[in-house]
Structure 1
Amino acid sequence: MNPTDSEIQLKIGRDVESVGWSWIWVFDPGEPAVPSFAYTIGLFRTFSHPEVVVVGLPESTSHAVLEAVFDSVESGARYASGSVSDEILNGFSVRFEDVSSVLAEENLVQAFVFNSGEVEVLQMVWPEKNGKFPGDDGAPSWLEERQKLHS
């Protein structure tokens, strides 16, 4: 582990201890075609709940969405693959889907370090303005690509 990782993990540990969770924003300024994403760290340890990743939203929106997920889980909600919630985005439903272990380990590195390699991950998938999710009939083609985790 390099010193930067240690500093990051110390901050994550302090966040989880004081408020129950932390989050990480991931982006590649050199590769704008790869969608940015954000994910929780601490839901697994604090609530035995899968960590949650959201892809393709701006940083401030991602934080607000993940904070809403945390608040919902803290209040007793439990999400699994296929769960739908109207509690996260005002006026829209969101859906939760499994993330393959390979994609999860490649992309949510700090969650795996924090949880000593033992963590489940769900992706919170958001709809476009007409309520269509990626893969739905009539959903715009950009929607799936914008929410895709890359390896």
Structure 2
Amino acid sequence: MSEQYHSKVDENVAKFGFHITYVMEDENGPSFCYSTGLYKSYNIPEVFLSGLPQSLSFTLVTDYANKFKETVLETNKKINSFSEDFDFPVYFIEVEKENLKDYDYASQRFYGNGNYKCVQLIYPDTNNKFPNEPDYLYDQEILGKLMQ
């Protein structure tokens, strides 16, 4: 990532409280998206998600920030009305920083040696099945431990 991109991350965190990075799908895996700055700005975990289009990913990260900077985030619990824009259940799982080392480069640079937390947004397929259920249809890369 370039110095220009890092400057944009810092600028967005200062201006909006967070920055969103989106990486397109390639031969190595599905697309993914993550926040930088939420932990510093609002003391809520950064959020990671994979396998969704950019516009939906940006909306979900923004909705996450707006909701949980004022509400306690509970992990490993299904949330039925997380986003006003999209009506599907989600849940959040904790992700160890070590599992993000190949993904969240902007956050790693932003926090340096400092500590930060991250969760992954887990979403259902069009049949309302989650990745830990039989016949799940999507290519969602899971970096944390799924609830059983």
* Per-residue deviation, 1:8: 1.5
Give the match for residue 104 of structure 1.
100
Q: Which runs of 5+ in 2 are unaligned?
A: 144-148
* Distance (whole Å) between structure 2 residues aligned to residue 114 and residue 78 of structure 1: 24
Give the match for residue 58 of structure 1.
53
Q: Percent identity?
A: 22
Pair 1:37-2:29 in alignment: no
RMSD: 2.0
* Per-residue deviation, 1:149: 4.9
Number of corresponding residues:
140
Aligned with 1:131 (options 125, 128, 148): 128
After TM superposition, where is structure 1 displaced by more than 6 Å over at least 4 residues in a row? none
Q: Which runs of 5+ in 1 are unaligned?
A: none
Pair 1:94-2:87 in alignment: no
* Distance (whole Å) between structure 1 residues aligned to residue 77 and residue 40 of structure 2: 21
Pair 1:28–1:92, CA change in 2 (3 A): closer
Q: Is the 8 A contact 1:53 1:121 kept in 2?
A: yes
Pair 1:72-2:67 in alignment: yes
The structure carrying a bigger strand percent of its residues is 1
Pair 1:13-2:13 in alignment: no
Q: TM-score when scaled to structure 2?
A: 0.83
* Distance (whole Å) between structure 2 residues aligned to residue 63 and residue 113 of structure 1: 21
Q: TM-score when scaled to structure 1?
A: 0.82
Pair 1:114–1:83, CA change in 2 (3 A): farther
The structure carrying a bigger helix percent of its residues is 1
Which one-letter code corresponds to 1:90 in the other structure?
Answer: F
Give the match for residue 146 of structure 2.
none
* Per-residue deviation, 1:73: 2.1
